[in-house]
Amino acid sequence: MPILSPADQEYLRQVFVERLRDPITIQLFTQRVTQISIPGYECATCRETNQLLEEVAALSEKITLEMYDLLQEGAKGREAGVEEIPAIILKGHNKGTLRFIGVPAGYEFATLIEDIIDVSRGTTELSPLSRETLAKLAQPVHIKVFVTPTCPYCPGVAKLAHMMAIESEKVTADVIEVSEFPHIAQRYRIFAVPKVVINESLEFEGARPEAAFVAMVESVARAQAEPEQDSSA
């Protein structure tokens, strides 16, 4: 049984016709061999994620879906920095790296669709000042945005992080559906979402305006560049 209704499929098909510009690739790291049970590799949402992305990719000839079984293609996963599955990586005109960890369900499905469009077009809605700031980042930045499918405030934060990754080669942005990964929730003390962690050194809960979020990213990159400058003086 399809996950997307016929009406949703037709709507998305038309959206893709009107808004996709160039081809993109969706890389999905997943688990296909469900009969094998290996501790640490059980994936409760891989089947759903596989089907959802297959349905999305079928709606446009400009979308290519590549599926990798992490059990069988571990080297490919390590090369891509994948530690948890399902993991989704979008590739197109983005300068940095943007990933979904977990199934992009609920409110986050809209984020996935908007990301596909932005990666295809190579443009985002970030302000010129934000783009200028991101272009001058002193150090690489890894943004982790923790979300849940039922959080109405999460997509805005997730979208901002992914737009930064599209605009800057120094930004990696992961949107993590934290309810699927209790060990991650425990490690990062997730009691409310959205929660953002930047380079493991700065964290905050709740939504922030674009300018404030970008300023935090810039401040972390600058702070981590200063020790290197001091040691070389």
Tens-place pLDDT, residues 189-224? 999 999 999 999 999 999 999 999 999 999 999 998
How far apart are the C-alpha atoms of 96 and 137, rounded to whole Å? Answer: 12
Q: Average of pLDDT values for 63-86?
A: 92
The answer to whether the Cα torsion of 156, 162, 166, 168 is positive or negative is positive
Strand ranges (E), 140-209:
141-147, 171-177, 195-198, 202-205
Contact 220, 203 (CB under 8 A): no
Q: What is the pLDDT of residue 230?
A: 56
How far apart are the C-alpha atoms of 29 and 40, rounded to whole Å? Answer: 15
| Tokens 């120094």, located at residue | 170
Of 31-35, 58-62, 98-102, the one with minimum mean pLDDT is 31-35
Separation in Å, CA 176 to CA 106, 183, 213? 13, 12, 18
How far apart are the C-alpha atoms of 164 and 213, rounded to whole Å? Answer: 10
